Structure 1
Amino acid sequence: MSLIEKIEAEVEIKASAKRFHETNSKRIAEVPKLSPNFVQSVDLLEGEWGKEGSVMCWYFVFDGKAVMSKEVIETIDDKNYLATYKVIGGILKEMYKSFKFTIQVIPKGEESMVHWTLEYEKLNADDPDASSMLQYLLRQSKEVDAHLALE
């Protein structure tokens, strides 16, 4: 039995696909001020902001606890408004053997759709799926969108 799983969901936002993509790929340092209820800070450990191969530590509140996730940017695709992050340390590496986030922002007329894909491998068959993380990301996306609308 494979312990590799993939879950996906999307949420509608008012921001342009380009602006939301840039925030989540090139302007990551701004995310804590755009989403203060979810993300406390993001530290750049290696590389440059918004560049593939860069390593960051995200500090955030998840399930009522302050946690950290160390991630490397694997892909930034500006044409398709897509970014992929591979988890290399922190809470998600403690819970899963591997974990990858993909965020794609799809233009829909005046609005956009944020499509999240989580790919992960459980450590054990009875470990929980990542649905709570997926719901967290959808809510966090809405908060970023609300702040972008104020700019």
Structure 2
Amino acid sequence: MASLPCKLVGQIAFKAGGDIFHSLLTSNPGHFTKAAPSKIQSCTLLNGTYATEGSIIEWNYTHEGKTETAKQVITNLDEEKKQVSYKFIEGDLVQLYKNLIVTFHVETSGGVDFITWTIDYELVNADVPHPITLLKLAIELTVDIETHIFG
């Protein structure tokens, strides 16, 4: 039986400015190791350059109390929309989810910048939980970055 595509979406206001968040995640994601060292242990560019489609980035991070790894390729980068998509190609989460893509984009509404995280995926089987904890990690990371910026 074929699995159905699934989607989780979370959004949070970002007082430090969406441009700053977009710039950090696209051009300097290694800074996340300084802003949230309990969550992100390393970020290594393996191929290409940051902020370029097709580039491959490897992350070591803590998820649900365990150290995990992820290799991602940048599949969509839209500077005008301040949107970036990362497809997981290796790592712990690809054992649980097929076609796992995490996208973030910045929206401005009423003068407030919002960071929206979208996780598109398919479960490898019916026993696998939906990646709600991954969405929670993305939201917590966003808060940690804002706290780091404001000191």
Q: Percent identity?
A: 29
Deviation at 1:109, TM superposition (A): 5.0
Secondary structure of 1:137 counterpart: helix
1:60-93: CA deviation from partner (whole Å, max 9, x where unpaired): 0000001001000111211111110000000111
Q: Which residue of 2 aligns with 1:149?
A: 150
Residue 17 (structure 1) aligns with: 18
Aligned to 1:73: 74
Q: Which runs of 5+ in 1 are unaligned?
A: none
2: CA distance between counterparts of 1:67 and 1:100?
17
Amino acid at match of 1:131: I
Q: Distance in 2 between matches of 1:10 and 1:42?
A: 24
Partner of 1:114: 115
Q: Which amino acid aligns with 2:104?
A: I
* Partner SS state of residue 143, structure 2: helix
CA contact (8 A) 1:16 1:110 kept: no
CA distance in 2, matches of 1:118, 1:105: 15
Partner of 2:106: 105
Aligned match of 2:40? 39
Matched residue, 2:53: 52
Secondary structure at the aligned position of 2:69 is classed as strand
Q: Which residue of 2 aligns with 1:29?
A: 30
The aligned amino acid for 1:133 is L
Contact 1:84 1:100 in 2 (8 A): yes
Contact 1:105/1:113 (8 A) holds in 2:
yes
Distance 1:23 1:85 in 2: 15
Structure 2 unaligned segments of length 5 or more: list them: none
Letter in 1 for 2:103: T
Q: How many pairs were matched up?
A: 150
Contact 1:46–1:55, Cα closer than 8 Å, also in 2: yes
Structure 2 length-normalised TM: 0.93
2:130 maps to a residue whose letter is: D
Task: Please give the TM-score of this superposition, normalised by the length of structure 1.
Answer: 0.93
